[in-house]
């Protein structure tokens, strides 16, 4: 799974959204939105609720017409095309299965609309059911299925059409945690098998990072940053992205050469971020990249003494809040025998490598 | 809540005394004949007469026919309205709902007189037809007049029933259908109509039963040429004092309506439809 993320897909642009605008009454929902997606890519639209990601997906599906801008799919302008002529199949958050039809009829619906021969319909429906690992529940009704099975029917119903574009609207958010993880892997696997270009809307960071080839982080109807999961996570382009990604330890100070000064604290930053004139800068370090120890750790070029002021146990990980000088750092460590020795009020050393410091540009600069 | 049923006692008592009991008495009465002064004998003569006399069979047929036509016309008129109401603001919906229910808030006499002014031989519609050189058209004192009058009153029930089911249809289901390649008509035929079936059936039962048993509208708009069972029962009981026959006809009317309700209920709850319609 990790290697599929590092392989950038070398294909021409398959889907191009350019300069999209949409307003509902007074509210501007989408502003100057441009995204390019390659053929076969698994592309995530990530953002908090109200950022316009679902509106974007619905414009792709043909449920909402943009006020301005264009959408090209496989070289054809589709932004004014009605939904039923787009070949962009959508899987809804609430599945939106036809309650009066059996599982078979639900999946066969699109093929029946295309007036395919009966034998072909039967074969393709069963093929789609095998693809999503749905037991042969042909004659059951959606109400007689579990949430996960309903989700599989919804996926099969879209995939059976072999669409040019598969649109997923938070398809996993209605499932419980374990099932969500299992289905997540299955969706990745299905994408690997079919190679369908997929646009995936989610507010769940982990889901986007694990599943997508590339991610667009959206905020207030705009794309804040678009890149591979590694790009987004390790090199957040804006303060919003850094915040959304969960960079909790942001230090704002004066940067001179490769030292970030904040009051008495002098933090070493990557050498390629050095500045020869003193300038205001912001850097962040991930909570999980800081090591916590009772002794000083010389193997890191940043090591400070601090005081633990809070310990929170999260099961597999333990999060420790510590004060270092005038700053507060959150440290995430694996729960182990060592971490059990820490206690609130204790003096500890916090250490991390300067290369793990991520510069966060101020929004005005971008 | 062990004693909760006690609270329903007043209503139960009221209904059994003033509704159930007379109904049973009516049923029993229809099976007896007066033979001489104060003497009663069991007899099926009433039913024999009802089911062999072409006049009575004709009345029965017309009642069922007019109710069925009214039901179909109401359904055809109500469906587009209910569909359109789905997309309206709640304020507009309240207004339209009030408008469709307004016939029920009007006195039957006023309402029917208004139709008389419009539909009568010298009414507005016919005068308009004559003025553009057409032949006047018989719109009253026949089946047409009765259907128009009944549809006017009962259309609201059909709209409300349809609204109740159509409102529960998730917009995403309609979007999904169109997304999967269905055009507007296909969405209507394959998704909206099947999903509104429960509402259609509820509305049909309401409109049919009320049309079959209503008295004033068919009498005033249909006159003697389009007589229905309810009017005949009234005549038999009040004008001819034929209580046995009146009771028999009433029982027949009840059975016609009840069997219709029974069939629809069986259909809705039959087989796997129960799963779909909750």
Establish if A240 belongs to a structural domain: yes
Cβ–Cβ contacts within 10 Å for residue B209, how many? Answer: 18
Task: Return the CATH number at A136.
Answer: 3.40.50.300
Establish if A5 belongs to a structural domain: no
Shared domain for A264 and A222, answered yes or no, is no
Tell me the mean pLDDT in the region A134-155: 90
Shared domain for A133 and A268, answered yes or no, is no
Establish if B18 belongs to a structural domain: no
Establish if A7 belongs to a structural domain: no
Q: A266 has which bridge partners? A: A261
Shared domain for A231 and A260, answered yes or no, is no
Task: Return the CATH number at A351.
Answer: 2.40.50.100
From chain A, pick out residues whose CB is under 8 angstroms from the CB of B276. Answer: 99-100, 141, 143
pLDDT value at B156 more than 80: yes
Per-residue pLDDT, A11: 67
Instruction: State pTM to two decimals.
Output: 0.82
CA–CA dist A188, A168 (Å, integer): 12
- Of the candidates A263, A343, A276, the one whose C-alpha atom is nearest the C-alpha of residue A307 is A343
Question: In this predicted model, which residue has the larger pLDDT, B76 or B105?
Answer: B76
Q: Which of A245, A270, A300 is at the close of a domain?
A: A245
Overall number of domains in chain B = 1
Nearest CA in chain A to B276: A100
Q: Which residues contact A215 (CB under 8 A, 6 or more apart)?
A: A43, A44, A45, A46, A208, A209, A226, A227, A228, A229, A232
CA–CA dist B41, B147 (Å, integer): 41
Label residue A364 by pLDDT band (50, 70, 90).
very low
Establish if A56 belongs to a structural domain: yes
Shared domain for A313 and A259, answered yes or no, is yes
Per-residue pLDDT, A275: 83
| A141 vs B179, B182, B272: nearest CB | B272
Label residue A123 by pLDDT band (50, 70, 90).
very high
Establish if A260 belongs to a structural domain: yes
Per-residue pLDDT, B43: 81
Q: Kindly determine whether residue B181 and residue A158, on different chains, have CB atoms separated by under 8 Å.
A: no
CA–CA dist B173, B179 (Å, integer): 10
Residue A289: CA atoms inside 13 Å, Cβ hemisphere, count? 18
From chain B, pick out residues whose CB is under 8 angstroms from the CB of A109. Answer: 177, 180, 182, 190
Q: Kindly determine whether residue B275 and residue A97, on different chains, have CB atoms separated by under 8 Å.
A: no
Label residue A71 by pLDDT band (50, 70, 90).
very high
Min Cα separation B184/chain A (Å): 9
CB A262 within 8 Å of CB A253 = yes
Overall number of domains in chain A = 2
Establish if B27 belongs to a structural domain: no
Tell me the mean pLDDT in the region A12-35: 91
From chain A, pick out residues whose CB is under 8 angstroms from the CB of B275. Answer: 141, 143-144
Nearest CA in chain A to B185: A113
Shared domain for A269 and A227, answered yes or no, is no
Q: Which of A198, A227, A245 is at the close of a domain?
A: A245
Establish if A2 belongs to a structural domain: no
Q: Kindly determine whether residue B182 and residue A113, on different chains, have CB atoms separated by under 8 Å.
A: yes
Rg value, chain A, Cα? 24
CB A106 within 8 Å of CB A56 = no
Establish if A50 belongs to a structural domain: yes
Shared domain for A310 and A235, answered yes or no, is no
Token pair for residue B249? 């006809």
Tell me the mean pLDDT in the region A295-299: 87
Task: Return the CATH number at B234.
Answer: 1.10.3720.10
Domain that holds residue B87: 46-276
Establish if A262 belongs to a structural domain: yes
Q: How far apart, in Å, are the Cα atoms of A342 and each of A302, A347, B13?
A: 21, 9, 76
From chain A, pick out residues whose CB is under 8 angstroms from the CB of B179. Answer: 61-63, 83-84, 86, 88-90
Mark out chain A residues that contact chain B at CB-CB < 8 A: 61-63, 82-86, 88-90, 92, 94, 96-100, 109-110, 113-114, 141, 143-144, 157-158, 161
Per-residue pLDDT, B96: 85
From chain A, pick out residues whose CB is under 8 angstroms from the CB of B178. Answer: 62, 82-84
Min Cα separation A248/chain B (Å): 38
Q: Kindly determine whether residue A100 and residue B181, on different chains, have CB atoms separated by under 8 Å.
A: no
pLDDT value at A246 more than 50: yes
Q: Provide the terminal-to-terminal Cα distance of chain B, rounded to the nearest Å.
A: 26
Domain that holds residue A263: 250-365
Q: Which of A187, A214, A245 is at the close of a domain?
A: A245
Per-residue pLDDT, B140: 82
Tell me the mean pLDDT in the region A126-152: 91
Nearest CA in chain A to B197: A100
From chain A, pick out residues whose CB is under 8 angstroms from the CB of B170. Answer: 94, 96
Shared domain for A54 and A159, answered yes or no, is yes
pLDDT digits (tens, 9 = 90+) for B111-121: 888 888 888 88
Establish if B16 belongs to a structural domain: no
Instruction: Give the 3-state secondary structure of residue A360.
Output: coil
């Amino acid at each position: 799974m990790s290697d599929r993320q590092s392989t950038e897909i070398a294909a021409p642009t398959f889907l191009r959204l350019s300069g999209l605008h949409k307003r509902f009454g007074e509210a501007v929902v989408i502003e100057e939105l441009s995204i390019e997606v390659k053929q076969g890519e698994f592309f995530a639209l990530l953002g908090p609720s109200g950022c316009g990601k679902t509106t974007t997906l619905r414009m792709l599906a043909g449920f909402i017409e943009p006020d301005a801008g264009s959408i090209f799919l496989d070289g054809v302008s589709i932004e004014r095309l009605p939904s039923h002529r787009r070949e962009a199949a959508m899987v809804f958050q609430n599945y939106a299965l036809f309650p009066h039809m059996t599982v078979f009829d639900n999946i066969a619906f699109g093929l029946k609309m295309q007036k395919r021969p009966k034998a072909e319909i039967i074969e393709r429906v069963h093929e789609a059911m095998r693809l999503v690992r749905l037991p042969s529940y042909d004659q059951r009704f959606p109400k007689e299925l579990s949430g996960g099975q309903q989700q599989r029917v919804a996926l099969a119903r879209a995939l059976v059409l072999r669409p040019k574009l598969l649109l997923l609207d938070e398809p996993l958010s209605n499932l419980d945690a374990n099932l969500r993880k299992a289905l997540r892997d299955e969706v990745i696997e299905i994408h690997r098998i079919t190679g369908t270009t997929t646009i995936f809307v989610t507010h769940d960071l982990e889901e986007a990072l694990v599943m997508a080839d590339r991610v667009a982080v959206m905020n207030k109807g705009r794309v804040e940053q678009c890149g591979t999961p590694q790009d987004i996570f390790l090199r957040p382009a804006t303060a919003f992205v850094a915040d959304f990604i969960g960079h909790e330890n942001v230090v704002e100070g004066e940067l001179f050469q490769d030292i970030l000064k904040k009051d008495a604290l002098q933090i070493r930053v990557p050498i390629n971020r050095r500045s020869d004139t003193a300038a205001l800068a912001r850097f962040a370090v991930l909570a999980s990249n800081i090591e916590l120890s009772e002794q000083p750790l010389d193997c890191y070029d940043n090591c400070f003494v601090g005081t633990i002021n809070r310990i929170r146990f999260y099961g597999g990980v333990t999060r420790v809040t510590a004060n270092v000088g005038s700053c507060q750092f959150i440290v995430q460590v694996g729960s182990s025998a060592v971490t059990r020795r820490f206690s609130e009020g204790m003096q500890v050393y916090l250490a991390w490598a300067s290369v793990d410091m991520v510069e966060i540009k101020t929004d005005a600069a971008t | 809540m062990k004693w909760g049923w006690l609270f329903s006692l007043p209503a139960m008592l009221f209904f059994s005394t003033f509704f159930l009991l007379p109904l049973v008495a009516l049923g029993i009465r229809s099976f007896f004949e007066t033979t001489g002064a104060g003497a009663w004998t069991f007899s099926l003569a009433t039913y024999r007469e009802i089911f062999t006399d072409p006049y009575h069979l004709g009345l029965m047929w017309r009642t069922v026919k007019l109710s069925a036509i009214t039901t179909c016309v109401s359904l055809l008129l109500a469906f587009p309205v209910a569909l359109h109401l789905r997309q309206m603001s709640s304020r507009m919906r309240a207004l339209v709902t009030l408008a469709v229910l307004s016939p029920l808030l009007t006195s039957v006499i006023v309402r029917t007189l208004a139709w008389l002014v419009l539909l009568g031989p010298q009414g507005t519609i016919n005068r308009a037809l004559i003025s553009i050189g057409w032949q006047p058209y018989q719109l009253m004192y026949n089946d047409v007049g009765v259907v128009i009058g009944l549809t006017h009153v009962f259309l609201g029930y059909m709209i409300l029933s349809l609204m109740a089911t159509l409102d529960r249809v998730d917009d995403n289901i309609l979007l999904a259908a169109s997304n999967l390649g269905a055009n507007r008509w296909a969405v209507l035929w394959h998704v909206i109509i099947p999903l509104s079936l429960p509402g259609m059936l509820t509305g049909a039962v309401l409109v049919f039963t009320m049309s079959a048993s209503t008295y004033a509208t068919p009498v005033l708009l249909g006159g003697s040429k389009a007589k229905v069972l309810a009017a005949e029962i009234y005549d038999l009981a009040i004008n001819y004092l034929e209580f046995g026959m009146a009771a028999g006809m009433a029982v027949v009317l009840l059975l016609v309506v009840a069997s219709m309700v029974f069939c629809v209920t069986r259909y809705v709850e039959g087989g796997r439809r129960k799963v779909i319609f909750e």
